[in-house]
Amino acid sequence: MADPSGSYTFADLILRVSTAAGIAYYGTTGQRRALIPVNNEYNFDLCKRIVNDGVKMFIAAAPYPSGWRWMRRLYELTFVATEITGTVDSATSTTLVDATLTATYDANDDLNGYWVYDTTNNSYAQITDYTTATGTCTVAAWLTLDGVTGGTTPAATDTYIITDVQCVEGDKARYPLPDDFGRPVGKITYTKDSSRSFVGGADEGQLRRNKEVTEFDSYPAYASARAYRKRKWEIVFDPSPSYGDTVVIPYEIGFDELELEGGLATSTSSTTLVNSSIANLYPDNYFNGWIIYIIDYTGNGSYATVTDFTGSTGTYTVAAWLAVDGVTTGVTPAATSAYYVEESTAKHPAGWQFDNAVLSACLAQAQIQIENMKGDYLNKFTNLDLAAAQLQDLRSAPLSLLKTSGDRGEYERRKSAVTYN
């Protein structure tokens, strides 16, 4: 049975828009099935812009006054329960050593999964292995505060903090919020197994003033969400949590533009693909972790995960090219091979139930922005697909069960939806 969770990716939507607009790429021979127009920078950029505008148009067409229910999320956050401070004895690009750890954490793997923060150089990592004989914490790589590889390797005498839960810069009063966080939409409550009730919202300035007067650990009374580094969000609690409680944070998702890059390779190897036309357009490591797909010419069908990206030359580095089965070795691409690179999570935010409406909105935007494009997509979106999406959204909300009048003893489902704060 197919898994009904795969909503259209950015690439899917671009392909459908470019095909409907008559600007799809059909390979070097012109005989291939329709492909994303990576061979033409203007058409490629136009389609990316149209799709993002289409998703925005769909979101803006939310039913009044309730808005889209699919945009509401609950995020469970567990506070730091264990906080360890110390000084680095020595470190490498994948280790941090402090012999004093062995006194308390005397079994191998005791700190596996914990987070370590070098507060001197502002880098951090998750601990993948702990060796008690030497007090050695092993990590995959040191990250910058933006969460990407390239963080500064700790040095001897640096101060560090280890926590059992990820927080911001090792401060147990600050926690990262989900990447799709847009804004809070209700009270922050403790989970049902807690004896505490809820955390009140407060202005960020009030929290800063409170901490300037006195700073102590207790059960948080106030919280404030605020922007933090490159369009990320964090939540700050006051006082700092003293216990590893779990709270539930209701929020509305925020739409961040979908991203995708591609083109024709200028040179390749068994572990690299270079596209000189994007040199100096993106910083180093920008595409790390993204998936690169070869879609035409030599290597067609091969793919790989990007392990490193060099912005000055437009060079993607991979461990190896894989075949479509993901197991056997793929064919190495060549110069002029067509490719695109996309995040594995680059899907429209509404979910697969709204695929038709989102696609319809993208095609409507294409008709608005591309002169003489044939079809009646704008009318189809406005009068057909949008109404169906709003009905689907209404059905996704919990409904009340009430007994009917009369002697039938039956129950009916009310059409009025539960109202959320």
pLDDT of residue 412: 36
- Summarize pLDDT for 293-322 with one digit per residue, the tens: 999 999 999 999 999 999 999 999 999 999
- Torsion angle (degrees, nearest 10) of CA 266, 269, 273, 274: -40
Residue with tokens 């292995």, as numbered in its chain? 129
pLDDT of residue 203: 79
- Summarize pLDDT for 138-187 with one digit per residue, the tens: 999 999 988 888 899 999 999 999 999 999 999 999 999 998 899 888 88
Alpha-carbon dihedral sign for residues 57, 58, 60, 61: positive
The phi, psi pair for 248, rounded to 5°, reads -110, 125
The stretch 239-251 carries a mean pLDDT of 92
DSSP structural state of residue 2: -
Task: Give the integer Cα–Cα distance in Å for 318 and 306.
Answer: 5
The phi, psi pair for 272, rounded to 5°, reads -145, 155
- Summarize pLDDT for 118-141 with one digit per residue, the tens: 999 999 999 999 999 999 999 999
pLDDT of residue 419: 38
Global confidence as pTM: 0.79
- Summarize pLDDT for 57-85 with one digit per residue, the tens: 999 999 988 899 999 999 999 999 999 99
pLDDT of residue 397: 63
